[in-house]
Amino acid sequence: RLKPLNRLQVILPHLKMSNQTDSTAEVLLEKRGCAGVITLNRPKALNALNFSMIQQIYPQLKTWEQDPETFLIIIKGTGGKAFCAGGDIRAITEAGKVGDKLTEDFFRGEYRLNNAVGTCKKPYVALIDGITMGGGVGVSVHGHFRVATEKTLFAMPETAIGLFPDVGGGYFLPRLKGKIGYYLALTGCRLKGRDVLKAGIATHFVESGKLPALEKDLIALKSPSKENVADLLNSYQSTIDQEKEFVLDEHMEKINSIFSANSMEEIVKKLKQDGSPFAIKQLETINKMSPTSLKLTLRQLKEGASMSLQDVLRMEYRLSQACMKGHDFYEGVRAVLIDKDQSPRWKPPALEEVSDEFVDNCFKPLGDNDLKL
């Protein structure tokens, strides 16, 4: 039998962790085998990230990164529907309306977490099973490994709510092949399943039903290197839908030529000139988006294409604060999430009315208030 003191030493670490593994907690942080496991646990809210979750994940990620006994980090969601459907937009909206500091703190915390994922020295494996949008993309896409399944639904739908594809979107989107990232960012187009891998957003494609076994095998690895983790993930790769062509393949030529235009007005003009069913559909979509968001997004991606992740996140923080002070974000959230009438009244209502001077101002440094990474 264990001596009482020894027993206490065995139990204590578990007690320290137990508040984190309480099944009602919004995020579970557990050390299992060789891995630190982050479980986003707000299934009713599709695991959307709120401020308290961000505040818990960041220090734990940093601790695991330094811990010689932790060899990899796994992040996943509960509930079977979503990995993480985004950030807690409603809370930010409420805060913005009353001038609460959450509009600064949330983005600052979220972008610091995105940077921690992007700079993590330990292999970082995101199991992006189900809906993965906005904030969910931010805590997965910058890591070493992103495992998509047939249930994965990826999108960056921010231009529809008067925002822009943040969380480092300005870094990864322009780096996707051709102009696919520009297209996804401006239209909010959704990609499903294997297409998420084919677009270069995921690194692996595994059947959803095999994820528990994959996780178990990852946790059981003995002091694995990044190569060991990669080998294991490769051994789980599924061949389902492998022969199916990428959903955007037939449109890639058009996407590359139209979305390489220098301004939003020019993109719209090219879509009109093209006149194909595909072009008309994109035109209809773009016409629903916030004109301000579209202009900010196009410039964000053009600048982000040659920036480091850190510089992109600093730029995006400036843009987030400009959006918090503007009109379209609150109107977009009202129309899409609150009243759900899907008829936002954007100000200004037309691309031509969003001046270059206004856009320039949104990108200006914030002095002492700039994001520090």
All structural domains of the chain with their residue ranges:
27-369
Q: What's the confidence (pLDDT) of residue 6?
A: 57
Q: 129, 166, 195, 316: which one is catalytic?
A: 166
Per the model's pLDDT, the better-predicted residue between 114 and 4 turns out to be: 114
Distance CA 322, CA 338 (A): 22
158 catalytic per annotation: yes
Annotated catalytic residue within 110, 129, 158, 195: 158
Confidence of residue 240 (pLDDT cuts 50, 70, 90): confident
Q: Give the per-residue pLDDT at 97.
A: 93
pLDDT at 19: 45
Task: Please give the average per-residue pLDDT across 27-41, as a whole number.
Answer: 98
Q: According to the model, what pLDDT value does residue 114 have?
A: 98
State in Å, rounded, how far the first CA of the chain is from the last one. 50
Q: What gap in Å lies between CA 250 and CA 174, rounded to an integer? A: 20
Q: Which tens digit of pLDDT belongs to each residue from 76-124? A: 999 999 999 999 999 999 999 999 999 999 999 999 999 999 999 999 9
From the CB of residue 322, how many other CB atoms can be counted at a distance below 10 Å?
20
**Residue 41, pLDDT above cutoff 60:** yes
Residue 289 DSSP SS3: coil
Per the residue annotation, which of 36, 86, 87, 304 is the catalytic one?
87
Kind plus residue range of the DSSP H or E element containing 40: strand 35-40
Please say if the pLDDT value at position 136 is more than 80: yes
Residues 95 and 102: beta-carbon distance below 8 Å: yes
Q: Please confirm, yes or no, whether 188 is among the known catalytic residues.
A: no
Residue 328 contacts residue 344 (beta carbons within 8 Å):
yes
**How much is the mean pLDDT over the chain?**
94
Is 303 catalytic? The answer is no
**What is the model's pTM?**
0.93
Q: What is the CA radius of gyration of the chain?
A: 21
CATH architecture classification, 27-369 = Alpha-Beta Complex (3.90)
Q: How far apart are CA 89 and CA 324, in angstroms?
A: 11
pLDDT band at 231 (very low <50, low <70, confident <90, very high): very high
pLDDT bucket at 11, cuts 50 / 70 / 90: low
Selecting among 86, 118, 135, 143, the annotated active-site residue is 135
Does residue 118 carry a catalytic annotation? no
* pLDDT tens column, 171-204: 999 999 999 999 999 999 999 999 999 999 999 9
Cα–Cα dist 170/164, whole Å = 9
- Residue 358 buriedness (CB in 10 A; 0-12 / 13-18 / 19+): middle
185 vs 289: CA distance, rounded Å = 11
